[in-house]
Structure 1
């Protein structure tokens, strides 16, 4: 415990110790619900994925440093969001015709599990209908089982992405996204409509958790800490349980929330100080509570690794933190470009986990960047620094003046990446003269 044990009661200490795992366990669920509350708020002005519950709402342009609904976004894609509640009848997902443009409609449950993706790999070019049902519901009659997706929770987040080739291509990408439609969603769940945000972080956390777990439930493949909630006398549905609790219990919950959030924050940074870290298990968490919580804090909505690999660089080749006070290079040798069948790109984010403003308006660079210059030996060297390079803008990824990190995304990664046979080159610091 962070507080001196002589200054706290045994009841406070026991409550804090027991409730701390609930913070790690419940954080991804609450972060999903918070996002749902923001994006499906009936009073919100529709924009950039915000709009009525049960309908897709998309962005008109790639995201920039001004867009802050989701941490660690991509600027290679147009996002289109929808939130649905699966009642007793299936929800229909319509995919329009598509002729080669990369897209994916990611399905996440309320606990941030990427349980299914709809895209080029499983949908014909002429488009099709998909039917979404809850895992406990019977198979509907008259529907092709091959086009039925069973969903672990009744609240489902559909996070669509469509590749966009710049501002001039945005209207065509948006036209495709507008053709992706939903029909048959139930109403917004109460745990979203009654979202509590009083400014008391710990009390809001546990109040929202109690309400959410009662209504959302826990998927069969995930860790279930509801018995621990009951042992703390936080029964499902008892939103007033915190107010009935003694001050000692509430103090224990405050300590648990502070320490639990600190633990998650500690793990969003690469603790090994390796140049690159990535996981083949991203998006599919099972009972890995800490990893689920860590990614919910730094990259909520991450796709499963078979769809996209997210490699993160917090440190350079000498295990020093990336900092805009220095310049860096990232060099891919001839024949050693990132192995992706769709495309790849390197995005840069500031310490706040969003894009950093820069004079070039460039937030990522990759195989689709216009004007990239290869060396005479056909290698590719990216320049990552705050000041404009003397060589020009072609291979420049602008950095802020302070700390930052990189995410290398590989869409439809090849087997050598998934199996660990491809080694990403480290980011090299340019030595000051």
Structure 2
């Protein structure tokens, strides 16, 4: 990657150029155009690879099968490592779909006032539809999920862009006493479809370039890209098409692609201590780079109309906290949303993914349903964040950080109102005490 390309990529990412010279030392052994094509091919295919990896993990769960729902009966805790950046607010019900032999019928039960969402994502991680509190309401219904080229028959036909897809249901839980009622809602969801054939194994993102691109070609054969991606596919045809490709150029391009994912993590634009999602989160169009980064950092993200995810800037201005002292976040008495909110704590793994951290309270997030929180006289809420209990009245509002190592925080707001969506409302930063 030459310096010009490097700075251009920095502009796309919205990154400061201070780290750019280190990229300029990248190897220049292969043909520059071929290496650039390999870089872009690797990033383009990453969502497909991550979806296939998540599907393989799910199918290892007891009783899991294609076109069948698998319910998680407990809220995700520090032992849950299947998908990065999970929430601790909702129960997950998940299914990977195979629509090649015909439509799949989805039944949504009556949910009343309880929040839920059913996101159906194509293999490129775009949310083709979100059926839930915002769009369907609490009365439920029956929906026919239809693959490409299939006749749109059945109740409420809903077109899915690829023949394979991921269906992810989130069912809100108020507290542990509410679990039984939430389970009844989960049990009301139904999925019925043709029996599916065995799913092949695919290489993961850590694979060598030859294996990675072979898997990408297999996945694209099973779920072809939309015509709007043809320009990129022509330019990367050596890797995502018939080939052949030069091994040295592939190595250089993949190395650069991996560096992009490393440097892009947290290198977002922060406004008063928070990075706000782009408007195209969850439905990316031709924003292949953003799509790749989200697939790595937050696979399965909802579109902003459904939920907004804000990442805290951290001590380094790139999303990581490293201090051993106490931090504070002050929230207003009322937030501009029609759903619920939570602040989640994550430990940062060596490969840059985010999972809940073990702690003495077994508290992985603080939100509007957290019992025993103490508000200030004016209704505002101080959340105290640190590796050790702050003591006294602050203990009630303590969000425990990992005992050691870097950590990260994400603030979720479900069903945000216009002032949050359009940027009129901004959160106060998390600050050291």
**Do they superpose with TM above 0.5?**
yes
Distance 1:55 1:88, change over 3 A: closer
- Alignment correspondent of 2:423: 420
1:122 correspondence with 2:135: yes
Q: What is the aligned partner in structure 1 of residue 38 from structure 2? A: 19
Structure 1 position 177 matched with structure 2 position 186:
yes
User: Is 2:213 the partner of 1:212?
Assistant: no
> What is aligned with 1:398?
400
Residue in 1 that maps onto 2:367: 366
- Cα deviation for residue 311 of structure 1 reads 0.8
Structure 2 distance, partners of 1:3, 1:233, is: 20
* Alpha-carbon distance between aligned partners in 1 of 2:330 and 2:258, rounded to the nearest angstrom: 36
**Alignment map for 1:29-428 (pairs within 5 Å):** 29-40=48-59, 44-46=60-62, 51-87=64-100, 89-140=102-153, 143-144=154-155, 147-185=156-194, 187-188=196-197, 192-196=199-203, 200-220=207-227, 225-230=232-237, 232=238, 235=241, 249-272=246-269, 274=271, 275-279=273-277, 280-315=279-314, 321-334=320-333, 337-352=334-349, 353-392=354-393, 393-400=395-402, 401-428=404-431
Secondary structure of 1:225's counterpart equals helix
Q: How many pairs were matched up? A: 402
Alignment RMSD (CA, Å)? 2.4
Aligned-partner SS, 1:61? coil
1:45-74 per-residue CA deviation (whole Å, 9 max, x = no partner) reads 42xxx7111100011100001000010000
Give the Cα separation in 2 of the matches to 1:422 and 1:310: 14
TM-score under structure 2 length normalisation = 0.86
Deviation of 1:213 after TM superposition, in Å, equals 0.9
Q: Structure 1 residues 86, 9: CA separation in 2 closer, same or farther (over 3 Å shift)?
A: closer
Find the aligned partners of 1:73 and 1:198 in 2 and give their Cα distance. 20
Determine the C-alpha separation between the residues in 1 that align with 2:240 and 2:100: 27
Q: 5+ residue gaps in structure 2? A: 2-24
Unpaired segments of 5 or more residues in structure 1? none
Aligned match of 2:5: none
Relative to the length of structure 1, the TM-score reads: 0.86
